[in-house]
Copies of this chain bind each other. A is one copy, B any other.
Amino acid sequence: MSALREKHEDGALGTGRANVRLWLRLLSCAMVVEKRLKRRFAERFDTTLPRFDVLAALDRQPEGVTMGALSRSLLVSNGNVTALVQTLVRDGWASLGSSPDDRRASIVALTPAGRTAFERMAEAHHEWIDKWLGGLDGHERVSLYGLLGKLKDSIAEDRP
C-alpha cells in the first residue's frame, strides 16, 4: 500500500526524493571542500577565498577589466566586488584606474605584487584540490565531469 501510494504520488516522471538526495550530496561535497579551502587560505596566506577568486579572475585578464565584467564573471553582486577590490587595492595587490573611453567605468588590474601572491596561492590551491579529489581514478573523474556538465545544462535550461 505504501509502495503503491508512493508510486502514484511520484507519477510517471517522478523520482521520489532522489533528486533532493542528489542535491544534498552535491551540496555537502561542495561545502566541505569550500570550508576547508577557506581555513587553509586563512592559515597559510592570511587571506580569504573570495579575494583569491578575484585574483584568479584578474590573472586571466592581464590588461584589466571593468568592475561590472568582474562582477559578472565571478557571479557575485556589484557591491560585493566593490568591497573586495577595495581591500585588494589597500593591500597593494590590485590597482584601480579609469577607462579612457567611459568615465563611469573603473578598470581593475593585478599589480606585480598581486600576481606574485596569486601564483603562490594558486599552486597551493592546486595541490590541495589534487589531494582531496585524488580518490577518484581517471575514468571516474571524466565521468563525474561529464555528468556535472549535464547537470549544469539541466539547471540552465530552467531559468524563470
A141's partner among B15, B28, B156 (CB-CB below 8 A) is B15
**Interface SS of chain A:** helix
Q: How many residues of A contact B (CB 8 A)?
A: 50
Chain B residues with CB below 8 A from A141, complex form? 15, 18-19, 22
- A8 part of interface (Cβ distance < 8 Å): no
- Return the chain B residue nearest A126 by Cβ: B20
The complex places the Cα of A32 from the Cα of B153 at a distance, in Å, of 12
Contact segment of A64-72, A103-111, A143-151: A143-151
Instruction: List A residues at the B interface (Cβ < 8 Å).
Output: 13-15, 17-23, 25-35, 75, 125-126, 129-136, 138, 140-141, 143-145, 147-158
